[in-house]
A and B are shown apart, each in its own frame.
Chain A
Amino acid sequence: MLDNSEGYVTEDGRKIGGVVMEMKNITLRFGGVVAIKDISFDIREGEIRAIIGPNGAGKSSMLNVISGFYVPQEGEVWFHGSKRPQMRPFEVAQQGIARTFQNIALFEGMSVLDNVMTGRLGYMKTNIFQQAWWKGKAEAEETENREAVEKIIDFLEIQHIRKTPVSRLPYGLKKRVELARALAAEPKLLLLDEPMAGMNVEEKEDMSRFILDVNDEFGTTIALIEHDMGVVMDLSDRVVVMDYGKKIGDGTPDEVRNNQEVIDAYLGVSHD
């Protein structure tokens, strides 16, 4: 099924398209430490792709390679059919990749609305003088972008905190605001770094629902890193499993769940 380059259809009837991003033999080193060792996998259009693994497996490093923050020493990143040259993170963002962070990176003093508006930065074309003058172009531009942002605020059900400074919000809501900001960029590929970390069961359920809804409603391709195995297995279409910088499994949740190497990595192996 996965060999079909035209994509596949999931159990719940969603159509998954062709390959959007392909990682080819990626190796990433920090001095003598090998964080990622010769890993290859692909992400298909419209799918939810998870990268899992125990602590220190290299998951976040992998996400940072995708987002252009780290440049691998070896290997190639292909995006939409062309090899990606070395890029700075903002150039990657311009290509349509948005992300959230493991340790929330919002502007604490700004309101939720303003934070989400920063996600629209790529769509603002007016210069500093036009914005200072405000009337006319800058105003029209803000109205237009505010509309897009309000749709996302409605979608993620955060209307009640629209004007609240982010610093006053509980952790679970901050995570949702981060997701809102990433969505505001209308990404083609959304990267989520441990979206469920530190949440209670209810918050996790909410977040899972939002991730599924985003994928379903906007057709956004999502790559996520997550610790919580239960969540990953329920959410994702395909899973990459990493351990000590190596890929030890790749496939549907069921395939991965029954993979002996994966079981060993998670439960440990007895040495008798």
Chain B
Amino acid sequence: MGRRERLAQTQSGAEGMHSLLALLHRNATQFGDAPAYREKEFGIWQCWTWTEAAKEIRAIALGFLELGVEKGDHIAVIGRNRPAHYWSMVAAQMVGAIPVPLYQDAVAEEMTYVMEHCGAKYVVCGDQEQVDKVIEIQEKVHQIKHILYTDKRGMRKYDHSQMNALEDIMAEGSAGHARFDAELDKRIAEVTYDDTCVMLYTSGTTGKPKGVVLSNRNVIESAKNSADFDHLTRNEDILSYLPMAWVGDFIFSIGQAYWCGFCVNCPESADTMMTDLREIGPTYFFAPPRVFETQLTNVMIRMEDAGKLKQRMFHHFMAHAKKVGGLLLDGKPVGFGDKLKYALGNLLVYGPLKDTLGYGRFRVGYTAGEAIGPEIFDFYRSLGINLKQLYGQTEATVFITVQPDGEVRADTVGVPAPDVELKIDDSGEIHYRSPGVFVEYYNNPDSTASTKDAEGWVATGDAGFIEESSGHLRIIDRAKDVGKMADGSMFAPKYVENKLKFYPDILEVVLFGNGKDRCVAFINIDLTAVGNWAERNNVAYASYQELAGHPRVLETIRGHVEAVNKSVAADEMLSGCQVHRFVVLHKELDADDGEMTRTRKVRRGFVEEKFHDIIAALYDGSGQVSTTTEVTYEDGRKGSISATLEIVDAPVVPVAQHKVAAE
């Protein structure tokens, strides 16, 4: 069957599909025997067809009715990516309730706010750990009527007067189906295109999280447009491993999966994700830059441990891939000899490498959530992996701009997605309007009004411009992060940070310098890469802190900073952003300590405040700084670590005085 035919088949009868439930019904009746969900459990991939999935979802919905779930109730879902959790969200919609997926690694304190804000009366928990958190939250909010859990382990001793295993209420609901069928069918029939499909909390780089309300229209229109854009069919396989609370996962694993009818694969556990990725070999893939960075780091480490012949072969063919791989992928003309050599490289290096990474069947994929380093991006594309960038937001139901095939570049985020209008205001902030624009922030009309205007335009908070030659959007930075140095030149931290993060040794960077005469930086080393280096060079260390402060590590990082400074100096607009002094931090920036969001974006303001003593030392010229930092353990307890950090001066390239623009 050709792709076009499959496409046609996928979308037949898709018109007039105004809810996930209608799509589910279509999938279950038109290709009921096709796999809808897979999950690895007990070492084997378990599979559910669309018919089976529809049955499971209905059973959960009946169970919800049995518990007395009312229309408009909120049902929180907290757990890792598992079919049962996805089903619970769809089942919630079936009974007219609103699913609210939450970040499972958030500590109870953090979760209390959103629970209270959405007023969830029912909670579906993944395991005992989540149940414990919810019980703790319940002591403060007193609103939760019933807790459900999917993993029974360790749950026997709990008071079950207001708690059940999900499968138990499914059984109860199914047993009582004669009583509930009519009511359930009535509620399904009542779901309209403009009813709420899901509520997702923004991760909140600043301030409290906000509950973004997305309607069926938002989700289905976005899924439809994006699926058409990349010619997705029901034969795709995706691996669902990103947090369920993230809008991307909702759109990929539910929106697009239901629209196209493709299969959602859930890994066995978070630790086995890389192995599971290899076994599934997704055709459509999405990951934050961090995943690609980690994989690249691992590849490089393993290559350093490989034999001489393999190393030479790898470097030789990778150099060739760098030259022509990207061009070939874009369908640009390439000489016959180069093509032949690329084919040989594919046989010897690229093919096996892609297979090891799990990208053997990769047809199209996206990196999103944060800007990716151009070198990392090009590495994957040169292998023939069609990795693209998109720019999106929860408030836009993901898609704002997307890169079309053949027009993929590392420095832009593509053209407006289908049906999206874009405009840049005078201050340089990007605004958009689309069918995916969110309904409102839940219970927060002020924020809604300040973000979305009467005509439906939404302010992104990002600064950027549209490149005239290509029509592509280029993002400069978060609008509020972009600033001015003391001499008036532009300060755009992300740009420099991404350049530094390309080095496998460097995991995270935070650049400071807004309003100052020069820039300084915090750097986190990558324990995997630096640890491996230490092992090979007989550098002994006992802890992360000790390794991070090792003189030879500092020397290596200094070298990286120097190289980046040179490259930054070449950019006239940003030459002021060179790193003059830096410090390698004694701890990894972590979401548990509030230094990052759950989607792993640095919360700049918070970091600046928390480590103000180190920043002061970076600017006052001292050679060392002693500091004590509070840390939060995974179970929520607090402790503190103290350290004396070496401050390193980095060589900078002198910059000629800025030309004064003629007026």
Answer whether residue B275 sits at the interface, using C-beta atoms and an 8 A cutoff.
yes
Bound CA span A217–B275, Å: 29
Q: Is the CB of B157 within 8 A of A12?
A: yes
Q: Is the CB of A13 within 8 A of B157?
A: yes
Residues of B within 8 A of A12 (CB): 157
Q: Is the CB of A217 within 8 A of B153?
A: yes
Within 8 A of A (CB), among B35-61: 41-44
Within 8 A of B (CB), among A139-160: 146-147, 150-151, 153-155, 157, 159-160
With A160-B269, A160-B275 as given contacts, are A151 and B42 in contact (CB-CB < 8 Å)? yes
| B191 to A: closest C-beta gap in Å | 37
Answer whether residue A162 sits at the interface, using C-beta atoms and an 8 A cutoff.
yes
Answer whether residue B307 sits at the interface, using C-beta atoms and an 8 A cutoff.
no
Q: Is the CB of B42 within 8 A of A147?
A: yes
Bound CA span A154–B39, Å: 14
Q: Is the CB of B42 within 8 A of A154?
A: yes
Q: Contact flags (1/0) for B151-175 with A, using CB distance below 8 Å?
A: 0011011000000000000000000
Q: Is the CB of A160 within 8 A of B271?
A: yes
Answer whether residue B268 sits at the interface, using C-beta atoms and an 8 A cutoff.
yes
Q: Is the CB of B42 within 8 A of A157?
A: no
Answer whether residue B272 sits at the interface, using C-beta atoms and an 8 A cutoff.
yes
Residues of A within 8 A of B268 (CB): 159
Name the CB-closest residue of A to B275: A160
Answer whether residue A108 sits at the interface, using C-beta atoms and an 8 A cutoff.
no
With A150-B42, A150-B43, A162-B43 as given contacts, are A155 and B153 in contact (CB-CB < 8 Å)? yes
Residues of A within 8 A of B154 (CB): 213, 216-217
Q: Is the CB of B42 within 8 A of A216?
A: no
Residues of B within 8 A of A146 (CB): 43
Bound CA span A163–B157, Å: 34
Bound CA span A160–B269, Å: 8
| B79 to A: closest C-beta gap in Å | 15
Q: Is the CB of A159 within 8 A of B157?
A: no
With A147-B42, A150-B43 as given contacts, are A159 and B153 in contact (CB-CB < 8 Å)? no
Within 8 A of B (CB), among A210-249: 213, 216-217
Q: Is the CB of A160 within 8 A of B272?
A: yes
Residues of A within 8 A of B156 (CB): 216
| B535 to A: closest C-beta gap in Å | 13
Bound CA span A217–B42, Å: 17
Name the CB-closest residue of B to A162: B43
Within 8 A of A (CB), among B239-271: 268-269, 271
Residues of B within 8 A of A147 (CB): 42
Tally of chain A residues near chain B (CB < 8 A) = 17
| A248 to B: closest C-beta gap in Å | 34
| A235 to B: closest C-beta gap in Å | 15
| A179 to B: closest C-beta gap in Å | 16
Residues of A within 8 A of B153 (CB): 155, 213, 217
Bound CA span A154–B42, Å: 6
Name the CB-closest residue of B to A209: B154
Name the CB-closest residue of A to B273: A160
Most buried by A among B41, B42, B157, B272: B42
Bound CA span A154–B127, Å: 13
Within 8 A of B (CB), among A103-158: 146-147, 150-151, 153-155, 157
Q: Is the CB of B43 within 8 A of A153?
A: yes
Bound CA span A199–B271, Å: 21
Bound CA span A153–B42, Å: 8
| A237 to B: closest C-beta gap in Å | 15
Name the CB-closest residue of B to A161: B271
Bound CA span A150–B45, Å: 13
Q: Contact flags (1/0) for A78-115 with B, using CB distance below 8 Å?
A: 00000000000000000000000000000000000000
| A129 to B: closest C-beta gap in Å | 28
Cβ 8 A contact of B272, one of A13, A150, A159 = A159
Q: Contact flags (1/0) for B478-516 with A, using CB distance below 8 Å?
A: 000000000000000000000000000000000000000
Bound CA span A153–B43, Å: 9
Residues of B within 8 A of A217 (CB): 153-154
Name the CB-closest residue of B to A13: B157
Name the CB-closest residue of B to A153: B43
Q: Is the CB of A216 within 8 A of B271?
A: no
Residues of A within 8 A of B271 (CB): 159-160
| A208 to B: closest C-beta gap in Å | 13
Residues of B within 8 A of A157 (CB): 269
Name the CB-closest residue of A to B44: A150
Residues of B within 8 A of A155 (CB): 153
Most buried by B among A150, A151, A154: A154
Cβ 8 A contact of A154, one of B41, B157, B275 = B41
| A133 to B: closest C-beta gap in Å | 25
With A153-B43, A159-B43 as given contacts, are A216 and B157 in contact (CB-CB < 8 Å)? yes
Name the CB-closest residue of A to B269: A159
Bound CA span A216–B154, Å: 8
| A227 to B: closest C-beta gap in Å | 22
Residues of B within 8 A of A213 (CB): 153-154
Bound CA span A146–B153, Å: 20
Q: Contact flags (1/0) for B14-46 with A, using CB distance below 8 Å?
A: 000000000000000000000000000111100
| B658 to A: closest C-beta gap in Å | 53
Residues of B within 8 A of A150 (CB): 42-44
Within 8 A of A (CB), among B384-422: none
| B157 to A: closest C-beta gap in Å | 7
Residues of A within 8 A of B44 (CB): 150
| B633 to A: closest C-beta gap in Å | 9
Bound CA span A90–B153, Å: 32
Name the CB-closest residue of B to A146: B43
Within 8 A of A (CB), among B140-198: 153-154, 156-157
Bound CA span A163–B43, Å: 11
Name the CB-closest residue of A to B272: A160
Residues of A within 8 A of B275 (CB): 160, 163
Bound CA span A213–B157, Å: 11
Within 8 A of A (CB), among B316-372: none
Bound CA span A230–B42, Å: 34
Within 8 A of A (CB), among B81-131: none
Residues of B within 8 A of A153 (CB): 42-43
Within 8 A of B (CB), among A149-187: 150-151, 153-155, 157, 159-160, 162-163
Bound CA span A8–B42, Å: 36
Bound CA span A256–B155, Å: 31
Within 8 A of A (CB), among B260-310: 268-269, 271-272, 275
Name the CB-closest residue of B to A213: B154
| A14 to B: closest C-beta gap in Å | 9
Bound CA span A151–B42, Å: 6
| B380 to A: closest C-beta gap in Å | 24
Residues of A within 8 A of B157 (CB): 12-13, 216
| A145 to B: closest C-beta gap in Å | 13
Bound CA span A155–B41, Å: 11
Bound CA span A150–B44, Å: 9
Within 8 A of A (CB), among B514-559: none
Name the CB-closest residue of A to B635: A205
Residues of B within 8 A of A151 (CB): 42
Bound CA span A195–B269, Å: 25
Bound CA span A159–B268, Å: 8
| A159 to B: closest C-beta gap in Å | 5
Residues of B within 8 A of A163 (CB): 275
Name the CB-closest residue of B to A12: B157
Residues of A within 8 A of B41 (CB): 154
Residues of A within 8 A of B43 (CB): 146, 150, 153, 159, 162
4 A-B pairs with least C-beta separation: A160-B271, A150-B42, A160-B272, A150-B43
Given A146-B43, A162-B43, 18 more A-B residue pairs with CB atoms under 8 Å apart are A12-B157, A147-B42, A150-B42, A154-B41, A154-B42, A155-B153, A157-B269, A159-B269, A159-B271, A159-B272, A160-B271, A160-B275, A213-B154, A216-B154, A216-B156, A216-B157, A217-B153, A217-B154
A-B contact pairs, 8 of them (CB 8 A): A147-B42, A150-B42, A150-B43, A153-B42, A155-B153, A159-B43, A159-B271, A163-B275
